[in-house]
Amino acid sequence: MTFWKFFFNYHKSKTSDNKKIKKNKELCIREVNRERIYLSTCKNIDVEDLEKLCDSVGWVRRPLRKVKYALENSFLIVSIFLYKENKKQLIGFARVTSDGSFNATIWDVVVHPDFQGNGLGKLLMHAIIKELRTYDISTITLFADPEVIKFYKHIGFTIDPDGVKGMFWYPI
Amino acid sequence: MTFWKFFFNYHKSKTSDNKKIKKNKELCIREVNRERIYLSTCKNIDVEDLEKLCDSVGWVRRPLRKVKYALENSFLIVSIFLYKENKKQLIGFARVTSDGSFNATIWDVVVHPDFQGNGLGKLLMHAIIKELRTYDISTITLFADPEVIKFYKHIGFTIDPDGVKGMFWYPI
């Protein structure tokens, strides 16, 4: 099975994969020579690495102290790492706030531009959904920018079901 | 100042009120003879009382075990209690999931029908916003049913800012 085929089939695989992530915190999803790509649910993320990844897609820099606190208070973090020549690079990331019971909201979904368009985002999303389903969480939500709405629809997300609207409050 | 005037003015008051909630967990917002109404941020809510309140507005019953877990994992809970003749009744409730840093989502906003239309919902929402702002959380979100969109707009919430859409994933 090729690398990308593995990616696209990953989410169709049985729950044993999911258990594997939970148990080991890391799941190798590619290993060719000295290059390995890992999917991880480990919450111990280097905030500088995360901000570098966010820089790569042009997001505004955030105070590291706040990022660290947000990571600590996230219910679930799913990351993708590239291990190459003894170096570890964070290339994908998403995190979730949740009550661990009914509702969850996904934030900060990001894939490094060098690795976009190959199913990594899809892989991240399916890993999150799988993990949340192990808690029997049935309402998984997110707020999508216009340019990624199609992507999330493809994953199975819907807009405004039964007229329910996402609403925002910002400080003036 | 009359009772309801106090309600509507509460959210305009200075942050000292908020500190009072944080410190004491309960803030008396009305006291007439033996009837008192309290606003509380105490997380120790009786799940049976909460489900009774949810029954009163026709919500579907949920497994108490799951409700208890959701309360334990909520970042913030704001409740309104009526103390009358040595009895304590939960008459308003809302809870929040959050990373404690950037984002928060408000769930399960409910006011007992006997007390609706008098500003209690508004009071709950303003208390939540105030409390979240003490953590410098700037993105406060919720998912509104069509019949309450106008209410949340009045509080200051907006729909789909810059085309950002609330999206849902449910198990099939």
Calpha distance A111→A54 (Å, rounded): 9
Beta carbons within 8 Å of B42's beta carbon, 6+ residues apart:
B25, B26, B77, B79
- Local structure of A140: helix, strand or coil: strand
Helices B120-133, B3-10: inter-axial angle, 10-degree rounding: 30
CA distance B144 to chain A (A): 5
Kindly report the average pLDDT of chain A as a whole number.
Answer: 86
- Local structure of B56: helix, strand or coil: helix
Residue A84 lies in a domain: yes
Residue A172 lies in a domain: no
For residue A106, give the H/E element and its range.
strand A103-111
Question: What is the sign, positive or negative, of the torsion defined by CA atoms of B91, B95, B101, B103?
Answer: negative
Q: How confident is the model at residue B31 (pLDDT cuts 50, 70, 90)?
A: low
Calpha distance A5→B156 (Å, rounded): 47
Residue A87: give its domain's CATH number: 3.40.630.30
B99 lies in which domain range? 2-163
Name the E strands within chain B.
26-32, 35-40, 76-84, 87-98, 103-111, 139-144, 158-159, 165-169
In 3D space, the residue among A102, A105, A127, A110 whose CA is nearest the CA of residue A25 turns out to be A127
Residue A168 lies in a domain: no
At position B165, the amino acid (one-letter code) is K
Residue of chain A with shortest Cα separation from B134: A171
β-sheet bridge partners, residue A26: A40
Strand order from edge to edge, sheet including A87-98: A26-32, A35-40, A76-84, A87-98, A103-111, A139-144, B165-169, A158-159
Calpha distance A40→A17 (Å, rounded): 12
pLDDT digits (tens, 9 = 90+) for A125-150: 999 999 999 999 999 999 999 999 99
In 3D space, the residue among A134, A138, A100 whose CA is nearest the CA of residue B68 turns out to be A100
Residue A171 lies in a domain: no
Mean pLDDT of A35-57: 93
pLDDT digits (tens, 9 = 90+) for B94-143: 999 999 999 999 999 999 999 998 889 999 999 999 999 999 999 999 99
- Local structure of B159: helix, strand or coil: strand
Which residues in chain B have Cβ-Cβ distances shorter than 8 Å to A171?
133, 138
What confidence score (pLDDT) does residue B86 get?
83
Q: Number of C-alpha atoms within 13 angstroms, CB side, residue B154?
A: 11
Do B169 and A161 lie within an 8 Å CB cutoff?
Answer: no
CA distance B60 to chain A (A): 13
Do A105 and B101 lie within an 8 Å CB cutoff?
Answer: no
Tokens standing for residue B169: 């994933």
Percent of chain A with pLDDT over 90: 72
Which residues in chain B have Cβ-Cβ distances shorter than 8 Å to A105?
97, 103, 105, 141
| Total-model pTM | 0.85
Scored b (16 or more CB within 10 A) or e, B32-46 reads eeeebbbbbbeeebe
What confidence score (pLDDT) does residue A172 get?
79
pLDDT digits (tens, 9 = 90+) for A57-94: 999 999 999 999 999 999 999 999 998 888 999 999 99
Catalytic residues of B: 152
Which residues in chain B have Cβ-Cβ distances shorter than 8 Å to A67?
101
Do A143 and B66 lie within an 8 Å CB cutoff?
Answer: no
Cβ count within 10 A of residue A4 = 12
What confidence score (pLDDT) does residue A103 get?
97
β-sheet bridge partners, residue B111: B92
Q: How confident is the model at residue B32 (pLDDT cuts 50, 70, 90)?
A: low
The owner of tokens 């105030």 is B130
Q: How many domains are contained in chain A?
A: 1
In 3D space, the residue among B37, B142, B152 whose CA is nearest the CA of residue B88 turns out to be B37
Q: Which of B17-21, B42-46, B68-72 has the lowest mean pLDDT?
A: B17-21
